[in-house]
Amino acid sequence: MQKSYLDLEKKIDLEFNKKTLLKDVFIHRSYLNEHRKLHLPSNEKLEFLGDSVLSLITSIYLYKNFPDLKEGDYTDIKASIVRTESLAEVAQKLALGEYLYLSKGEEKGKGRINSNILADTFEALIAAIFIDRGFDSAYDFILKNLFKEKLDYIVKNKLYLSPKSRLQEIIQAKYKVLPSYQTIKETGPEHDKIFQVEVLVKDHKLGEGQGSSKKTAEEKAAENSLEKMT
């Protein structure tokens, strides 16, 4: 049983003019497969629009608030803040899963806490706010629920950089040298190899990692090193 939308409107401090649009946010395509006679729209089109609105607002925010960063930094920061996990985390805080219309199968499969479904629903909600209340309301909603504290924290701590890039910055600043990566083991057939890599600084091992490519293994090794340093 879906909760009253009044609860959600109070939580996000927005009152929708068109209540049916808010309902559309939560209609998952699986629900429609079981209720074909209802002729309701799924939230997929809203999700598509919401993704674009979120991308534009993120770009504007970064451009206005971090003018000294490079274009490549903007791209990496945007990718880190709009990833599925980040959006799903906000959706969980807003309890969006409680409002979803799901099929019995998705319900049994814990669809209400599924990261992909929650992230898509959050994007659909952005689109609905944009359509119903305009760009400024969508901007304020994203700023309050997604950017506040989180995006600034990501930029300040350079979490948008890859583990290898972050480790390199730290090692360069501390030791004035670059970390080196060495493949210590290769296992598996030629078409499905697993690489084991260690990262060294002045012959001192910082960490190690493995992956299906040397690049992936190096990133894992750098990530392992960063975890040991914190």
Return the number of other C-beta atoms located less than 10 Å from residue 127's C-beta.
24
Cβ–Cβ < 8 Å for 168, 186:
no
Rounded Cα distance between 77 and 160, Å, is: 5
Identify the CATH class of 163-229.
alpha beta
- The verdict on whether residue 192 carries a ligand-binding annotation is no
pLDDT of the chain, 230 residues: tens digit per residue: 456 789 999 999 999 999 999 999 999 888 877 777 777 788 999 999 999 999 999 999 999 999 998 898 898 889 888 889 889 999 999 999 999 998 888 888 888 999 999 999 999 999 999 999 999 999 999 999 999 878 888 888 787 888 888 888 889 888 899 999 999 999 988 888 899 999 999 889 999 999 999 999 998 999 899 888 87
Specify which residues 186 forms β-bridges with: 195
pLDDT of residue 3: 63
223 marked ligand binding residue? no
5-156 CATH: 1.10.1520.10
What pLDDT shows up at residue 2? Answer: 52
Task: Judge if 5-156 and 163-229 fold alike in CATH terms.
Answer: no
Model pLDDT, residue 42 = 81
- Catalytically annotated residue among 24, 51, 198, 218: 51
Q: Which residue among the candidates 24, 76, 106, 123 is catalytic per the annotation?
A: 123
51 is catalytic: yes
186-207 pLDDT tens trace: 998 888 889 999 999 988 999 9
Domain limits of the chain?
Answer: 5-156, 163-229
d(CA 140, CA 130): 11
pLDDT at residue 229, rounded to an integer: 83
